[in-house]
Amino acid sequence: MSSRIEQLIDEIEEYIDSCKYQPLSTTKILVNKEELEELLVELRLRVPDEIKQYQKIISNQEAILSEARSQADTMVAEATAQTNELVNEHEIMQKAYSNANEIIEQAQAQAQAIVDNAVNDANSIRQGAVQYTDDMLGSLQTIINHTMEGARGRFDAFITSMQSSYDIVLNNRNELAGGIVQETPGEEAPPSE
């Protein structure tokens, strides 16, 4: 089952794919800022919730390890109890020592295997959660970068257009400046008829 973050990323990608290209461009698109911002705001709100879920999964490794230690302690205690019963039997004392050591070794080996498996499971869960979160953040980074590039392209086009208009106005003023007669101080302008 996919997460809401994955669904949102799919929706953003579908929205970007549905956008029309700018005139005379095959790479720049026109986006509805409000619609894209709504999707990004929801994505931003969802990320912390899913990260908390993964942190909860990671925290469960302590419970797994605790359960494994408890099982190991129980097995060692049972082995010790069996050892004590065997030792109390004077006629089979030698056999009791031998059996007791064997039982303790088996219990310790099984306990270590349980702890090792629990640690491996916990590490796998943690690694999977970290990898998944990193993948989600990588997708989000790509979307933000794509949006920034689109905005930068629109801003550059706007500045170019404004510079062109400014140059035209400046050239017109320079042309007009040659036809303007400047009055010198003390001279009166000829009366208008």
The pLDDT mean for the chain works out to: 85
For residue 37, pLDDT beyond 90: yes
Does the residue 54 lie in any domain?
A: yes
167 vs 54 pLDDT, higher one:
167
Residue 16: pLDDT band (50, 70, 90) is very high
Q: Please give the pLDDT value at position 9.
A: 92
Mean pLDDT of 161-185: 85
Does the residue 168 lie in any domain?
A: no
Does the residue 192 lie in any domain?
A: no
> What percent of the chain clears pLDDT 70, i.e. is strictly above it?
91
Mean pLDDT of 91-101: 78
CA separation, residue 153 to residues 6, 19, 35, 160, 172 (Å): 28, 16, 19, 11, 29
Does the residue 149 lie in any domain?
A: no
Domain that holds residue 51: 4-130
Q: Is the C-alpha dihedral spanning 103, 109, 114, 119 positive or negative?
A: positive
In the chain, the number of structural domains is: 1
pLDDT digits (tens, 9 = 90+) for 71-93: 989 999 998 888 778 767 777 67
Does the residue 70 lie in any domain?
A: yes
Q: Please give the pLDDT value at position 1.
A: 53
Does the residue 51 lie in any domain?
A: yes
For residue 187, pLDDT beyond 60: no
Q: Please give the pLDDT value at position 87.
A: 66
**Longest pairwise C-alpha distance within the chain:** 147
Contact 9, 140 (CB under 8 A): yes
Q: What predicted TM-score, i.e. pTM, was given to this entire model?
A: 0.34
Does the residue 21 lie in any domain?
A: yes
Does the residue 97 lie in any domain?
A: yes
Mean pLDDT of 29-50: 89
